[in-house]
Chain A
């Protein structure tokens, strides 16, 4: 909405969390397999944003630093910065989001993935939260 309208989630819905993923404080998730980090935004983030209407995807082959802003996700009333959970080279982006950004609302941990990053330094994963740590973090926000 505008600068005077700030939402809070008073719905009390239980947020879904994928057990084997890692999480950031900015509510991105990441799943790392064979050095490739697939990332997106969490259930908490998509719920807070509401209907996603536009995703500004990063350029393929671009280099990003961990926690650098590299994606913008827009809902009807606001735009939000999304940060890279791991540093490296962007090797793939989810082009389906260009036509169907609502995939982020419908399936944020699956078909609503945003980008894949070829990880530069696996040690950066120690800066992320486990599912349990993220659940505790969400509890601390309310």
Chain B
């Protein structure tokens, strides 16, 4: 037994592992990576993100570089969203499916040039996704998994634009939502997109792995910025009703059930298309607000007012914005309208909630 390495030893580290340790972060294993859960406290970090500006180490996420004509090299038939009409320097959210129509991952496609693409995927799925791309791209594609040489820092919050401008990036002003550009931060080349996972105005900065510490320090030198962990990142994304792979999305879940329909191009052929066309969703994703501060948790059952079990919670948290518990889950058809009373918990203990419209948090600076 003595030769079996500990779980911690098997986790990947981002370029900032010692920086997080020096900041006193609580660390957790997430998607195979050793990541900061929180630095100070989840509530104070939440408050700072929604009102000011935060930086997140998201270097665990995967980046694939593909060169080739989208249709000719096979890329277009791997992803569900339309990509052939994307202007250069824009990005688009979508997914890739298996033949059975299950979700292999959700992803963002970046068009860097006419035949130059970057695909950003979830950390836990990097190896699986790379295998899928290698299996389905043809000889006309040049594929590189750049996940371990590309770091990513998210700067998110209503003052995030000011922070980047203060670093001399005047042109950041021109970036509209879901577009990107090539910039330099103190001489270091970075790809910066106006994207994020918080519902606030924000940017994702892709930089060389070995320069990540420099960029992190340059941004944190601005006194308005606070480091923020994955704990808050999860609260922020649930408040925005953004799906997380492994919770609302996985290979057993149909994209139609998960509400990905609008990220599927029905006019093109893609892997899983036939299976999806034949699917009749038996359940739909729904959002609900607890009647109290008691929070739903992933794995809780969902009941209707008559006490019938109608579904399961996939994500749940306390929402500082609503001062109440909030949850996401799958509920049997038909779709329940906002305002319908449901219950979450188990047979022994149920707590009241009402179905809500997405997002829970409606005051974000996302599009300002």
Which residues on A are within 8 Å of B, measured CB to CB?
1-12, 50-51, 53-54, 56, 74-79, 101
User: Contact between B26 and A10 (Cβ–Cβ < 8 Å)?
Assistant: yes
Residues of A within 8 A of B38 (CB): 50
Interface string of B108-132 (1 = CB under 8 A from A): 0000000000000000000000000
In Å, the complex CA distance between A44 and B226 comes to: 25
8 smallest beta-carbon distances between A and B, as pairs:
A53-B318, A54-B293, A51-B43, A76-B42, A5-B28, A76-B318, A11-B24, A54-B294
Residues of B within 8 A of A74 (CB): 293-295, 318
In the complex, residue of chain B having the shortest beta-carbon distance to the beta carbon of A48: B26
Complex A-B: 15 CB contacts under 8 Å = A4-B246, A5-B29, A5-B37, A8-B27, A10-B25, A51-B42, A53-B318, A54-B325, A76-B43, A76-B235, A77-B231, A77-B318, A78-B297, A79-B295, A101-B293
* Of listed A12, A51, A78, residue having the most chain B CB within 10 A: A51
In Å, the complex CA distance between A83 and B135 comes to: 53
In Å, the complex CA distance between A54 and B318 comes to: 9
User: Contact between B29 and A6 (Cβ–Cβ < 8 Å)?
Assistant: yes
B88 → A minimal CB distance (Å) = 37
Which residues on B are within 8 Å of A, measured CB to CB?
21, 24-31, 37-38, 41-43, 230-231, 234-235, 246-247, 292-295, 297-299, 315, 317-318, 320, 325
Residues of B within 8 A of A4 (CB): 29-31, 246
A68 → B minimal CB distance (Å) = 15
User: Contact between A1 and B294 (Cβ–Cβ < 8 Å)?
Assistant: no
In the complex, residue of chain B having the shortest beta-carbon distance to the beta carbon of A10: B27
Extra inter-chain contacts (10) besides given A4-B30, A50-B38, CB under 8 Å: A1-B231, A4-B246, A8-B26, A8-B27, A10-B24, A74-B318, A76-B43, A76-B295, A77-B318, A79-B295
Residues of B within 8 A of A10 (CB): 21, 24-27
In the complex, residue of chain A having the shortest beta-carbon distance to the beta carbon of B30: A5
Residues of B within 8 A of A1 (CB): 28, 37, 230-231, 234
User: Contact between B42 and A77 (Cβ–Cβ < 8 Å)?
Assistant: yes
In Å, the complex CA distance between A138 and B234 comes to: 30
In Å, the complex CA distance between A2 and B295 comes to: 13
User: Contact between B318 and A7 (Cβ–Cβ < 8 Å)?
Assistant: no
Residues of A within 8 A of B292 (CB): 54
User: Contact between A50 and B42 (Cβ–Cβ < 8 Å)?
Assistant: yes
In the complex, residue of chain B having the shortest beta-carbon distance to the beta carbon of A99: B293
B291 → A minimal CB distance (Å) = 12
In Å, the complex CA distance between A78 and B247 comes to: 16
* Of listed B21, B26, B234, B235, residue having the most chain A CB within 10 A: B26
B101 → A minimal CB distance (Å) = 25
Residues of B within 8 A of A7 (CB): 26, 28, 37
In Å, the complex CA distance between A79 and B317 comes to: 10
In the complex, residue of chain B having the shortest beta-carbon distance to the beta carbon of A78: B297
In Å, the complex CA distance between A11 and B40 comes to: 10
User: Contact between B231 and A76 (Cβ–Cβ < 8 Å)?
Assistant: yes
* Of listed B25, B31, B234, residue having the most chain A CB within 10 A: B234
